[in-house]
Amino acid sequence: MKPFLLRGEIEGRLGIRSSAIPHARSSRQETRRIAAKAFLGYGPYVGDVSAETFIEPESLLAVQGGTLFYPSAGSDYGDFLTLFHPYLESFVFADLYYNFSSNLNRFRRWSDCGLIESQIVGNAKARVERRRTDSGRTYRFVEPAYLIDVYASSKTKRRFSVTFRRGFGQYALREFAPESVNVFVHRGDSTGEGGSNVFYLSNKWSHIEPCGFLFDKLSTKLVRNAIVISDGSNTQIPFLKERFGATGAEAYQFLRSETFYFADRSFRCAGYLRSRYQPTLVWAVEQR
């Protein structure tokens, strides 16, 4: 693994960035190699549209061996590890307040996967600080750090890595190589207290440059045939917005035959996950 170069992240300033996450750079060829037929159809989540969770098999096939990125994830990583660990090779969950000295609910507790390596890169104990400029403006500062766990499935012997990154999600996005994110997740977020107020699924201007036109930035990081998972929170893309009163299955049945367009991508509803606050829909997102 290449050494990391860690610097502080400052809310609202341009030009300070950390080094790339090495394992996020999975090549397309590698992805194709791993995308063997063997995985397809054996997961518990494909094929049954009446279940709480369903993803069209061909969408899962397209992302096999790839990387999942979920900014502002908080503690919402369990479902994604359970669902995608048979298919993906790396997971990156990012949150401003990850605290590696406390007990993160690690995947090691789960049934058929054992932890085989673990390392912390950066200052495990650093916290978000409130700082003040000479002119009196306050801003948040954080030293990014990474907890990187590698697991192996006792059944299949496949290995996958799970990275928890403390820091601003918008900086985490910048660390990915072009076309290296296969699954992007954003849900349960808000503009209110406790929410990030960061709109990855939008192209709105922001006076905080790393937060502006984030969909265009995200799109350069997504592979050609990616999955985007959203519950409609913190988005300005009309067809991704919340559907109160409908289950995921109902929303999927309603949307599945239509193709939508935003920026340089087409979107087709390809499934749904267990609802949290509102239905979480799975979109097959392709470069136009």
Site mask for ligand SAM (CB under 6 A), range 200-239, x = bound: ----------------------------------------
Structure tokens at 69: 């990125």
Which of 224, 250, 96 has its CA nearest to residue 170?
A: 96
CA pair distance 210, 169, nearest whole angstrom:
10
Judged by beta carbon, residue 178 or residue 195, the one nearer ligand SAM is: 195
Q: Which stretch binds ligand SAM (CB under 6 A): 55-63, 145-153, 194-202, 258-266?
A: 194-202
Q: Which stretch binds ligand SAM (CB under 6 A): 91-99, 109-117, 154-162, 248-256?
A: 91-99
What is the closest distance, in whole angstroms, from the C-beta atom of residue 58 to ligand SAM in the complex? Answer: 27
Question: For residue 224, with 0-12 CB atoms within 10 Å meaning exposed, 13-18 middle and 19 or more buried, which class applies?
Answer: exposed
CA pair distance 84, 35, nearest whole angstrom:
13
Q: Which residue is nearest to ligand SAM (CB)?
A: 188
Distance of CA 252 to the CA centre of its chain: 21
Judged by beta carbon, residue 56 or residue 189, the one nearer ligand SAM is: 189
CA pair distance 280, 187, nearest whole angstrom:
7
Q: Strand 138-142 and strand 159-166: pairing?
A: unpaired
> Is 9 an interacting residue with respect to ligand SAM (CB under 6 A)?
no
Site mask for ligand SAM (CB under 6 A), range 44-73, x = bound: ---------------------------xxx
Which of 20, 19, 1, 32 has its CA nearest to residue 223?
A: 32
Q: Which residues bind ligand SAM (CB under 6 A)?
A: 71-74, 76, 94-97, 168-169, 187-190, 194-196, 198
